[in-house]
Amino acid sequence: MGNYQAPTVRKAFQILRDIAGAPGGRSISELSRALGIGKSTVHGILSALEAEGAIIRDPDSKRYRPGLTLLELGRLTGSTLILRDVARPHIESLMAKTGESVFFGTRSGRDVIILDSVESTHDLKITSPAGTRLPLLAGATGKAFLSMMTDDQAGDLIRERGLRKYTEKTITDPAQYLQQVSRVRETGYATDDEEYIRGVRAVAAPLAGNGLMPSAVWVVGFTPNLTPEKTTYAAATAKAVAEAIHQEAVDRFTATSRETP
């Protein structure tokens, strides 16, 4: 794509930064003078941002201030960064205990996105760097993320997207899949026995609530290493790690919120 930058998008971010840094808000004229952008262009961008809830316009002063959408995005970004920082030592410990690759990630639209990972020390191992996107409805992670939804929400998602068959062991029957999702809510972890990748097992533990992004920690290994017995141990350990990450993140996020004026 080269160095191409969309001018309107760049101007929109300039306007958002200026409004966010002005305690009393900004008028169209002030934004135009401060940023050197024509009033008609400023007005058009403001209208689009207001429609998306990124800014609000005071009906009396005619000045623009940050909207709920912008504030919510900031809150979620802070939550994600806190989660990633908190999770790091825990997933390192989980890898040391299980010997298998460990991943930590959150949902991003139709996908699961990896926020951090720790590779196994085995010569042959599963690797995926931070930023990698995975299908939402696949393997242990899919069951873990759906377990954080209501039955209706999970059912609607499955009906909308369907259950793709990745291997001969993939569960493609919606009723059976939802039974396993329900099981995750009871046990605190999900399992995957070659359902996503042939020759690979995985366990995943969900963590959500208290204002944090729905996330999960999962352990992945080749079947000769991640045996059924080891899978049981990895599942229980991943569950404990997810609970520890969740509690520490909630405490950190609460403390950060109190410090913010």
Torsion (CA) 147, 151, 156, 161 in degrees, nearest 10: 30
Structure tokens at 30: 């002030």
Same domain, 92 and 200: yes
- Residue 76 pLDDT: 61
Please state, as a whole number, how many other Cβ atoms lie within 10 Å of the Cβ of residue 160. 9
**Residue 59's domain is classified under what CATH number?**
1.10.10.10
Query: Does the residue 211 lie in any domain?
Result: yes
Same domain, 95 and 212: yes
Cα separation, 6 vs 2, in Å, equals: 12
101 Cβ contact partners less than 8 Å away, ≥ 6 residues apart: 95, 117, 118, 119, 120, 125, 126, 127, 219, 220, 221
* Residue pLDDT, tens place only, 140-159: 999 999 999 999 999 999 99
144 Cβ contact partners less than 8 Å away, ≥ 6 residues apart: 184, 189, 190, 204, 205, 206, 216, 218
- Lowest-pLDDT range, 8-22, 35-49, 69-83? 69-83
102 Cβ contact partners less than 8 Å away, ≥ 6 residues apart: 91, 92, 94, 95, 117, 118, 217, 218, 219, 220
Mean pLDDT of 111-123: 93
- Residue 202 pLDDT: 98
- Residue 218 pLDDT: 98
State which of 32, 66, 100 marks the end of a domain.
66
Q: Is the pLDDT of residue 1 over 50?
A: no
Number of domains in the chain: 2
Say which DSSP state 142 is in.
Answer: H
Same domain, 62 and 78: no
pLDDT band at 107 (very low <50, low <70, confident <90, very high): confident
Nearest to 110 by CA among 76, 63, 142: 142
Percentage above 70 pLDDT, the chain: 91
* Residue pLDDT, tens place only, 50-105: 988 888 888 888 899 888 776 666 666 666 777 888 999 999 999 999 999 999 99
Cα separation, 103 vs 34, in Å, equals: 45
Query: Does the residue 96 lie in any domain?
Result: yes
Contact indicator for 46, 55 with CB cutoff of 8 Å: yes
Q: What residue type is 103 in one-letter code?
A: F
Same domain, 62 and 174: no
State which of 18, 50, 66 marks the end of a domain.
66
Same domain, 149 and 42: no
133 Cβ contact partners less than 8 Å away, ≥ 6 residues apart: 108, 111, 112, 113, 114
State which of 45, 66, 87 marks the end of a domain.
66
Same domain, 88 and 190: yes
- Residue 213 pLDDT: 79
Range of the domain at 24: 7-66
* Residue pLDDT, tens place only, 163-202: 999 999 999 999 999 999 999 999 999 999 999 999 999 9
Query: Does the residue 1 lie in any domain?
Result: no
Query: Does the residue 2 lie in any domain?
Result: no
Of all helices (H) and strands (E), which one includes residue 83? helix 68-98
Same domain, 61 and 113: no
* Residue pLDDT, tens place only, 191-247: 999 999 999 999 999 997 766 778 999 999 999 999 999 999 999 999 999 999 999
Query: Does the residue 160 lie in any domain?
Result: yes
Query: Does the residue 249 lie in any domain?
Result: yes
Percentage above 90 pLDDT, the chain: 66
Q: Is the pLDDT of residue 259 over 60?
A: no
pLDDT band at 14 (very low <50, low <70, confident <90, very high): very high
Same domain, 91 and 31: no
Same domain, 171 and 255: yes
Same domain, 130 and 33: no
Query: Does the residue 109 lie in any domain?
Result: yes
Query: Does the residue 162 lie in any domain?
Result: yes
Same domain, 231 and 142: yes
Same domain, 58 and 135: no
Please state, as a whole number, how many other Cβ atoms lie within 10 Å of the Cβ of residue 61. 11
**Residue 90's domain is classified under what CATH number?**
3.30.450.40
